[in-house]
Structure 1
C-alpha cells in the first residue's frame, strides 16, 4: 500500500526521552509510515533506543546512517577505536549481537513510493554516500553532483546527517532534512518532518529539557552522560555555528 502520510525522524543518537516525545505526537502516531533516516544509537542510550525502534515493527523504516555503520565497525574491531568519539565507543560496547545485526542490515538509500510525491529517496548524508554533507546553502554544482545518479522520476529526496532542518527546491527537486531528535543544533527539542498528500511540513516537538536530561542520566551507564546530555539536549551549539563548521565539508572551499 502506498502511504499518504509519512513521519520522518533522523539522528536520534541514542536519546530516548526526546524520541518518546516525538513518537507521542498525534500526527506521528497517525502516520502510515515512520522513516528514521539514520544515526539511531550512537549516544548515551543505545540499547533502549534500538529496542524502542524495533518495537515499532513494519510500520517503521530504518535507514542506515554513518554512525550506525561505525558502531558496527567499532564493536567488531574493523574500525580503529582511536578514531571514535568516546560516547560512540562506549555505545558500541553495549550492543548485543542482535543489535549489531539490526544495524548491519540497515539499507542505504531506500526508495519508497509516497502518495503525492511519487518515488522518494530516503538517505542519511546523500543518496550516494551516508557521510556526505549537503546544507541548505550548498552550491548548485554540488547538488548536481549529488543527484547525478538519480532517475529523473525521483523528485523528492529526504536526508539527515547535519542535524539542521530545511526544505528547499534544487533544480526542481524537493530536498528535505527533518533535523535531529537527539543532537539538535539551534534549539532544544525534537525536529521532524511530515510528508502528507504531496505537502511537506517541518515540525518541532518541545520537551522539558531538564527532565529529559535527568531521564538520560537515569537511563544511561555512560560515565559522562550528564555532560553529554547538558551539551546536546540544551542545543548549546547554534545552527549558525554548525553551518560554519559543516560548510567546508560540502566542498565549497
Structure 2
C-alpha cells in the first residue's frame, strides 16, 4: 500500500450518545488526526439523528463502517424486520431521516487503510467476516484462526468493536485492537476510543456524566431515557458481567 496515514482516531459503538461523542471530538489529538474511522454501531441510541449530522459535518475526514445495530435500524425502517433486540432500537430508527437511513444502508462492512507503524489495517465492526460475531481479549487461538480465515496475509492489524471493552492483543502474529465504546462503555465510565499510528494508544475521555444524563433526559423523548442514561453512561454493566454474557457467544466450551 503506497500511502500510509500518520494518525487515525478510531471511534466505535457511539450508540447515539451525543455528549460522549462531542467530548471525544474535542480532544486535540482527535482534531489533529488525519482521519477518524468509525467502526460501527453509530446510531442505535438516544440521539441518532444528531450524531449522524455532527459526524457528516466533518466531511471526508470521517470514514464510516457499519455495525449490526446500524443495519438493524435500516432493516426496521424498511419493513424488513418487525422488531430490534435492543429496546431503544425502534425509537432510534424512527428518529432518523429518510436520507440518513439511505446513507446508513450504504455503509461498508469493513475498510482497509495503510497506517504508519501498522502497514495495512482492516477496520470492521465485530470480525472481518461478520458484524455480530464475538471475539474477546481471551478468545482462544483457534477461534482467531476461524475469524481470520480468508484475510489477506498482508493485513497485520485488525481493528474491531462490538463488545464495548477495550483491549490490544496478538493473535497468530496479527495485532487485534478494540477501542472500546464511546457511548456505552462496559467496566468504567468515560468515552473510550483509540489513537492508531505509529503506536496503539487506548484512550478514555472523561466527561461530565451527570450533565450528560440530564441533557439526554431533557432532549430525548424515549420513554425510558432516564433509566437508560443512568445505566449506560455510568457504565453500570461491569466488564466481568459483559465477559460472562459474551463468553458463551465466542464458541468456548461451558466453564472454559
TM-score category by the smaller chain? over 0.9
Structure 1 residue aligned with 2:171 = 170
Tell me the secondary structure at the aligned position of residue 249 of structure 1. Answer: coil
Query: CA–CA distance in 2 between the matches of 1:221 and 1:57?
Result: 29
Normalising by structure 1, report the TM-score: 0.97
Query: CA–CA distance in 2 between the matches of 1:219 and 1:187?
Result: 25
Query: CA–CA distance in 2 between the matches of 1:211 and 1:196?
Result: 33
Query: CA–CA distance in 1 between the matches of 2:56 and 2:191?
Result: 19
What are the Cα deviations for residues 143-174 of structure 1, in whole angstroms up to 9, with x where unaligned? Answer: 00100111111000000000000001111100
Structure 2 residue aligned with 1:183 = 184
Offset, 1:218: 2.0
Offset, 1:93: 1.1
Structure 2 residue aligned with 1:132 = 133
Tell me the secondary structure at the aligned position of residue 86 of structure 1. Answer: coil
1:72 aligns with 2:74: yes
Q: 2:13 aligns with which of 11, 14, 18?
A: 11
Offset, 1:219: 2.2
Unpaired runs of 5+ in structure 2?
Answer: none
1:60 aligns with 2:69: no
Structural mapping, 1:1-253, within 5 Å: 2-81=4-83, 83-197=84-198, 199-253=199-253
Whether the 8 Å CA contact 2:4–2:119 is kept in 1: the answer is no
Query: CA–CA distance in 1 between the matches of 2:197 and 2:86?
Result: 37
What are the Cα deviations for residues 59-116 of structure 1, in whole angstroms up to 9, with x where unaligned? Answer: 00110100000000111110122x4322101111111111101110110111111122
Whether the 8 Å CA contact 2:41–2:69 is kept in 1: the answer is yes
Normalising by structure 2, report the TM-score: 0.96
